[in-house]
Amino acid sequence: MAYVNPKGDFDRDTDYLTDRITADGRDGYPVEPGRYRLVVARACPWANRAIIVRRLLGLEDVLSIGFCGPTHDERSWTFDLDPGGVDPVLGIHYLRDAYDKRIPDYPKGVTVPAIVDVPTGEVVTNDFAQITLDLSTEWTAHHREGAPQLYPQPLRAEIDEVAQRIYTEVNNGVYRCGFAGSQDAYDAAYDRLFTALDWLTERLGKQRYLVGDTITEADVRLFTTLARFDPVYHGHFKCNRSKLTELPVLWAYARDLFQTPGFGDTVDFVQIKAHYYIVHTDINPTRVVPKGPELGGWLTPHGREALGGRPFGDGTPPGPTKPGEEVPAGHRAG
């Protein structure tokens, strides 16, 4: 859902299916345990957010999850990781089928995350930013005991402000670099990205988390880009002023979150690299996937405890990953 404009700038199409699943069902989709399926791909940073939030809030038993494979063609993400290449709940191979069920010949890009209404087989929403906020605010009746407050009411204005800058300058900024269609567009995108990373370095040099003294939605949104920075964005997207490992504050912050239950245990580095290097043939026509970088450093001490903060506030960490949802051992750091 993106294109390069005549000036060479990368533009992301943000016209999503915006129906919401709410506690009162005002859009026609009430929160109901077992009714919906969250469709994701571990490779995708936008989907990785939803995986993390679902796990932190303990929604595994009320909102099922389907994993697409890391690669796709121009038609759709596919369930090629499942036996027979078919999602066991939705009964489809192409995620596009759920989009077409909602809007015949769906004219836009088929994206993840998407939430599908299982009884009808139709996509309800692919509005990735709203999905995680609604998991925090509309699904509260089904949160686990000790679930953290990822979007606390008193901090929402600040979270929204920080998250918006992270989205435009960092989450989308790396894509603006990678898909720039001209030197001028790339140079401007590069400067914007690293200006934002310098701002984050200054902010996180003084506090453990982005907003307040606990993990919030803002941290989730930044983490998924940082986790992909050295494996793909530094080289593949030419975001190469510095590696993450060469930015001491951000590297320590990323390791702190990675080592927090619910974050690093959702990251599949093998799928991440496969997606970017194989799918983006306009950038990498050989489809060769690099062997590096070395990932052991993710598990080294980060020292961020010295800044204080309580990761889960008055809550508790999530328990072990639900069986069948684990990242394969060979795909993780360490």
Residues annotated as catalytic are: 44, 175
Task: Give the chain's end-to-end CA distance (angstroms, integer).
Answer: 34
Q: What are the helix and strand counts (H, E) for the chain?
A: 9, 6
DSSP letter assigned to residue 229: I
User: Residue 146 region, left (φ>0) first, then alpha (ψ -120 to 50), else beta?
Assistant: left
Q: Is 139 annotated as a binding residue?
A: no
315 neighbors 216 (Cβ within 8 angstroms): no
Secondary element (H or E) of residue 114: strand 114-117
d(CA 72, CA 305): 40
Of 280, 92, 330, 312, residue with least CA distance to 214: 312
User: Is the bond preceding residue 323 a cis peptide, omega within 30 degrees?
Assistant: no
64 pairs with which residues across the strands?
37
Joined together, the tokens standing for residue 17 give 């299916």
Q: Residue positions in the annotated binding site?
A: 77
